[in-house]
Amino acid sequence: MPREELVMLRGTTFVADEAALHTELALGQGTAVLLQVMRVRKRRAVTGSNDGTLRLWDLDSATCLRVFSGHQDLVRCVAVDWESRCALSGSDDGTLRLWDLDSGACVERLWAGHGDSGQVHCLAADWSRRYALSGSKDRALRLWDLDRARCVKTLRGHEDWVWCVALGPGLRGALSGSEDGTLRRWDLGRDICSGTLRGHDGHVWCVVVDWGSLQALSGSNDCTLKLWDLEGAACLTTLRGHEGWVQCVAADWAARRALSGAEDRTLRLWDLDRAECLRTLLGHEGHVRCLAADWHAQRALSGGADLVLRLWDLE
């Protein structure tokens, strides 16, 4: 990892590289010195935009570090692997592009289709196996081998555009949401749809899955989120409160919390067990299009139609 991506940390305090560290050590015989200063990763984020670019951001200084150019149309989705220094993006230009975060270069282009039907709306990546799953305007999902830069299987069953996907561990399963109002569970070993979840009264825009408990949380243009039991293909509860289409969601399954963003310009923090909104976050002056949450640090980053990224303290 490049040195500029790291920062010194002493205890819980950030320390500049040029700072003098003062300490008094009283050492007895056989006493070991514990080094309490370490170098940790700085806070970074990658975003995609309607201008066809991706941008790498320093969240501490709120500055753009690098612009990635190459897509010929708006960027709908992005996934990042900080360990391998790669990002994968999907665009309305019908391609997925694999990027080197250090050089800013596009190292691979994956062709999803011709014309409007090939628009890539969503993606999920398994970086350890170097595979990705994408959903498109042509109603299909495609599984990609990133190392060989080719599509290895195509899944069909949705009756309208696919807007969200989640990829299960070991490439065994997947979940997708569509403009047809359904979520579909996929068996990637047998290349079949193994279940259909119905209940939303509108397009399914976003989904997040806990594969351990086989629960999922989806957001829709019916202004609700629904918590699902994937095994029984049943809706467990419905979360109401947004006054616009719910377009993005993240979940802390261990704490039974979720965060959603919607066209009503708000983010809402939810208690999943009580189906209750705990907090409403105001600040965006346009629709909230995307979000990512760091639940350990209790921080979230959201992007809106107001062309602004906002970093939130969830506590």
* Three-state DSSP string of 108-162: EEEECCCCHHHCEEEEEEECCCCEEEEEECCCEEEEEECCCCEEEEEEECCCCCE
End residue of a domain, out of 92, 122, 156: 156
Residue-wise pLDDT for 208-249, tens only, equals 999 999 999 999 999 999 999 999 999 999 999 999 999 999
pLDDT in tens, 70-126: 999 999 999 999 999 999 999 999 999 999 999 999 999 999 865 567 899 999 999
- CATH number, residue 112: 2.130.10.10
Please tell me the predicted confidence (pLDDT) of residue 115. Answer: 57
Range of the domain at 79: 28-156
In angstroms, the CA 178 to CA 196 distance is 11
Antiparallel, parallel or unpaired: β 299-304 and 309-313: antiparallel
Residue 284 pLDDT > 90:
yes
Is residue 21 over pLDDT 90? no
Q: Which of 106, 132, 156 is the last residue of a domain?
A: 156
Longest Cα–Cα distance of the chain, Å, equals: 74
Summary mean pLDDT of the chain: 88
Which of these ranges, 6-20, 75-89, 290-304, has the smallest mean pLDDT?
6-20
Could you give the number of structural domains in the chain?
Answer: 2
Domain assignment of residue 10, yes or no: no
Whether residue 248 is found in the same domain as residue 179 = yes
* Size of the chain in residues: 315
Strands 162-167 and 13-15: unpaired
Please name which of 308, 312, 310, 309 lies closest in space to residue 295, comparing C-alpha atoms. 312
Rounded Cα distance between 44 and 118, Å, is 30
